[in-house]
Amino acid sequence: MPLFDRKDKSRYATFTRRTLVMSGGMTAVLCALGGRLYQLQIKDGDLYRTAAEDNRVNERLVAPPRGRILDRFGVELANNRRNYRLLLVAEQLNGNAAQALDTIARVIALSDQQKKRVLRDLAANKKFVPVLVAENLTWDEFALVNQHLPYLPGLQPDVGETRAYPFGPELSHLLGYVAPVSPDDKKKSDGDDPLLDLPGFRIGKRGIEKQYDDAVRGEAGASRVEVNAYGRVIRELSKDPATPGKDVWLTIDRELQHFVDQRLGGESCALVVMDCQTGDVLALSSTPGFDPNLFNVGITQDVWHTLTTDDHKPLINKCLSGAYPPGSTFKPAVALAAVDAGLDNLTVNCTGSYAMGNYTFHCWKKGGHGHVDLKRGIQASCDVFFYETARRLGIDRIAEGTKRLGLGAATGIEIPGEIGGVIPSSAWKLAKYGVPWQQGETLNTGIGQGYVLVTPIQLCTQVARIASGKAVVPRITRVVGNTAEPRAVADPLPFSDKAFALVREGMNAVANEPGGTAYAWRIAQPGFEMAGKTGTAQVRKISKEEHETGVKKNESLPWKLRDHALFIAFAPVTAPRYAAAIVMEHGAVGAHPHVQMVRDILLFAQQRDVLGLRTAYPVSAASADRQASHA
């Protein structure tokens, strides 16, 4: 009998085919697995190894310390100070977070708004991630918290770094301030700087802080830390320190700036002091100011409301953004153009008024000045003389001459927010209003009224150019990092020596000869004399009836209706070095406090002897009380 019958042979063949199919399938699976293992471990091994490493190791940015801002002698005007702050870790709390915050509030003050923010941040983060509770604590507050730390579970004291302005409001408009990054700031950066995404990171918002923010900001460092699957930091693997921001050295003289701010007091003023020969800005003060530290640590609604509603406008940099009619401080510029146009021998008989058509233009002195030449016109600030001078010159030659002195255009000083002002011309009016220029408007322009608008920095540039005869340009930055800022050599101005001599002689007579409008407030100490030009800018229209019955004294008017008071000056007369310009809003009163301020400041700049101020200029018994009331 055969071992296998035909039926059994068929079954064996079927089993063999199935075995071969299964074996082939298993072989294919094993090949696929092997191929996949080859791809994962050999071909793409480096890629997945890096990905695994990235899951294990996090790289975190380290914020750099911000560069300092210093004056010309190395005094720190903006630096960094310790930031005492408190952090809260949710997983270390004994109770709930709200109770913990209530307990902390018994040690240091925490507002309801702060508590809500902390609770929101705790809910949004993992329990082991520290959340900021408070920052910019005083040392006493920080010490008190550390004293009670055993009874405040979950609270971690921490010491960071933040921006500080040691001199507060004194340099606020010049330095500006730093504040947290806004969504608009991130959009403008186009994601170029990852530092902007760091929580609590601050950037420059105004002034020098904004102008040189990229340089002062520095470059981020990196910390590589090992984390577990939940993101908890296990250890720090390595750290690349951040690159500190560059220091910025200014032309400002902090000691002079301090004296200027003290002298201006609480008045609504703008004052600029410049080196006539180099254009270095030595002091730039807009008062009242504000404390830039408030914008760094967080300004309250009450303080913000006070700043924005103050009629003295403490948030505006009046030196660069305040546009004012120059009044009679415009006359030296007109006089320069007049001499070069051949009007140096012009003589006018001032009777107190000047008729043109059906309109009468008035001189500030009701009875007039009599026969006036160019020197006397500047000395006594005779309006009638400059009405006639302007009529003969014409508006376009006035515009051309005054623009050479830096008026009507931004100076380019390295502080954001500067405006250009207005020097009108016939083409300017036609383009702006679509109507031709009128001759009466030329007369108004000749005395610095009408459409003319200038800034205090432009006025200081004007007087510096008159004093030096060169096209000096104001600058406020000397060095950024280790690189000196380029400075072009000032070219001579296209005015004749005769024109400069006559105008300087007239400005000298303003302060140093009887009959000059600033003679009562001159510097009497030999070798320190100043030359200058007073000015008044009207802020209200004076009616014909008031001209006939007598113009009201500014002292009798409400503050906002008083004229602006202006004064430009340079010193010493024989070898000019310092130029100054002041605009005191609504300050045109009889005692001329603005002239006294500039006089004191120019003497201080020359002498640096505050004790000598009271004996360096004359004080009559009659004016002593008036000066004391405005000092």
Instruction: Tell me which residue range forms the domain holding 207.
Output: 60-250
Give alpha helix (H) positions in 57-127: 97-105, 112-124
Instruction: Tell whether 310 is covered by a domain.
Output: no
Q: Where does residue 299 rank: exposed (0-12), middle (13-18), buried (19+ CB within 10 A)?
A: middle
Q: Is pLDDT of 443 > 70?
A: yes
- Please give the tally of structural domains in the chain: 2
- Whether the predicted pLDDT of 493 surpasses 70: yes
**Is a pLDDT exceeding 60 seen at residue 548?**
no
For 577, phi and psi rounded to 5 degrees? -125, -40
Other CB atoms within 10 A of residue 505 CB: 16
For the ranges 347-356, 451-460, 536-545, the lowest mean pLDDT is seen at: 536-545
For residue 116, give every residue at least 6 positions away whose Cβ sits within 8 Å of its Cβ, in sequence order, or none.
none
Least confident piece of the model among 120-129, 291-300, 333-342, 466-475: 120-129
Q: Specify the CATH number for the domain of residue 607.
A: 3.40.710.10
pLDDT surpassing 50 at residue 616: no
Closest listed residue to residue 339, CA positions, set 297, 375, 291: 375
What does the pLDDT look like over 345-399, one tens digit per residue? Answer: 999 999 999 999 889 999 989 889 999 999 999 999 999 999 999 999 999 999 9
Q: Which residue has the tokens 């410049």?
A: 274
pLDDT at residue 625 in the model:
36
Residue with token string 């705790």:
122
291 and 353 fall within a common domain = yes
Highest mean pLDDT among 37-51, 110-124, 204-218: 204-218
- Same structural domain for residues 121 and 210? yes
Nearest residue to 244 via CA among 480, 62, 65, 481: 65
Q: Do residues 347 and 437 both lie within one domain?
A: yes
Higher pLDDT, 74 or 237: 74
Q: Report how many helices (DSSP H) and strands (DSSP E) the chain contains, helices first.
A: 25, 21
Residue finishing a domain among 250, 271, 292: 250
Gap between the Cα atoms of 227 and 495, Å rounded: 73
- What CA–CA distance (Å, rounded) separates 124 from 584? 53
- Please classify residue 245 by burial: count the beta carbons closer than 10 Å to its beta carbon, then call 0-12 exposed, 13-18 middle and 19+ buried: buried
Determine if the peptide bond prior to 199 is cis (ω within 30°): no
d(CA 407, CA 516): 25
49 within domain boundaries: no
* Confidence band, pLDDT 50/70/90 cuts, at residue 604: very high
The DSSP element (H or E) to which 225 belongs, if any, is strand 221-227
| 142 plus 282 within the same structural domain | no
Given this model, what pLDDT does residue 55 score?
Answer: 56
Compute how many other C-beta atoms are within 10 angstroms of the C-beta atom of residue 454: 32
Q: How confident is the model at residue 43 (pLDDT cuts 50, 70, 90)?
A: low
- What was the pLDDT predicted at 613? 43
Contact assessment for residue 364 and residue 536, using Cβ atoms and an 8 Å cutoff: yes
Q: Does position 80 have pLDDT exceeding 50, yes or no?
A: yes
* Six token digits for residue 347: 């003589």
81 close to 166: Cβ distance less than 8 angstroms: no
Q: Is residue 51 part of a domain?
A: no
| Claim to verify: residue 221 and residue 276 sit in the same structural domain | no
- In whole angstroms, give the CA distance from residue 352 to residue 364: 7
pTM of the model: 0.81
Q: Which tens digit of pLDDT belongs to each residue from 163-187?
A: 999 999 999 999 999 988 887 887 7
CA separation for the pair 592, 631 (Å, rounded): 10
Give the chain's mean pLDDT.
Answer: 85
In terms of domains, do 87 and 208 share one? yes
- Pick from 508, 532, 531, 523: which is nearest to 612 by CA? 523
Report d(CA 308, CA 565) in Å as an integer.
Answer: 24
Of 172, 328, 425, 468, the active-site residue reads 328
Three-state secondary-structure class, residue 58:
strand
Query: How far is the C-alpha of 60 from the C-alpha of 199, rounded, in Å?
Result: 12
User: And the tokens for 526?
Assistant: 């030999």
Catalytic, 426? Answer: no
Assigned domain for 68 exists: yes
Check residue 347 and give its pLDDT: 95
- Residue 577: how many other CB atoms lie within 10 Å: 18
Token digits of residue 453:
């608008």
| Mean pLDDT, residues 109-129 taken together | 82
319 phi, psi to nearest 5 deg: -65, -35
Q: Domain check: are 224 and 350 in the same one?
A: no
Task: For residues 365 and 363, give the distance between their C-alpha atoms in angstroms, rounded to a whole number.
Answer: 5
CA 351 – CA 215 distance, rounded (Å) = 60
Q: Which residues of 229-244 are buried (b: 16+ CB within 10 A; e: fewer)?
A: eeeeeeeeeeeeebeb
First to last CA, the chain: 141
What letters, b where the CB count within 10 A reaches 16 and e where it falls short, cover 23-49?
eeeeeeeeeeeeeeeeeeeeeeeeeee
pLDDT at 31: 82
Cα–Cα distance measured from residue 314 to residue 68, given in angstroms and rounded to the nearest whole number: 25
**DSSP-derived 3-state class of residue 295:** helix
Question: Averaged over 50-56, what is the pLDDT?
Answer: 52
Nearest alpha-carbon partner for 467 in 369, 295, 333? 333
- pLDDT for residue 175: 96
The answer to whether residues 65 and 142 belong to one domain is yes
582 vs 554: CA distance, rounded Å: 18
Q: Kindly state whether residues 276 and 399 are assigned to the same domain.
A: yes
pLDDT at 259: 95
Q: Report, as an integer, the average pLDDT of 309-318.
A: 94
- % residues pLDDT > 90 (the chain): 55
Whole-angstrom Cα distance, residue 597 to residue 267? 11
Do 184 and 282 have their domain in common? no
Domain closes at, from 230, 250, 270: 250
The answer on 238 and 158 residing in a single domain is: yes
Question: Is the domain of 542 the same as that of 453?
Answer: yes
CATH number for the domain including 181? 3.90.1310.10
Q: Is residue 109 part of a domain?
A: yes
Asked if residue 34 is part of any domain, the answer here is no
Q: Which two tokens stand for residue 57?
A: 């190791």
Whether 25 is covered by a domain: the verdict is: no
Work out the average pLDDT over 569-595.
Answer: 93
Is residue 36 included in any domain, yes or no?
no
State residue 618's pLDDT score.
46
Tell me what the mean pLDDT of segment 301-323 comes to: 93
Q: Does 103 score more than 90 pLDDT? A: no
347 bridge partner residues: none
Q: Parallel, antiparallel, or unpaired: how do β-strands 281-287 and 269-275 relate? A: antiparallel
Collect all residues with Cβ–Cβ distance below 8 Å to 436 and sequence separation of at least 6: 426, 429, 430
Question: Is residue 345 a contact partner of residue 364, using CB atoms and an 8 Å limit?
Answer: no
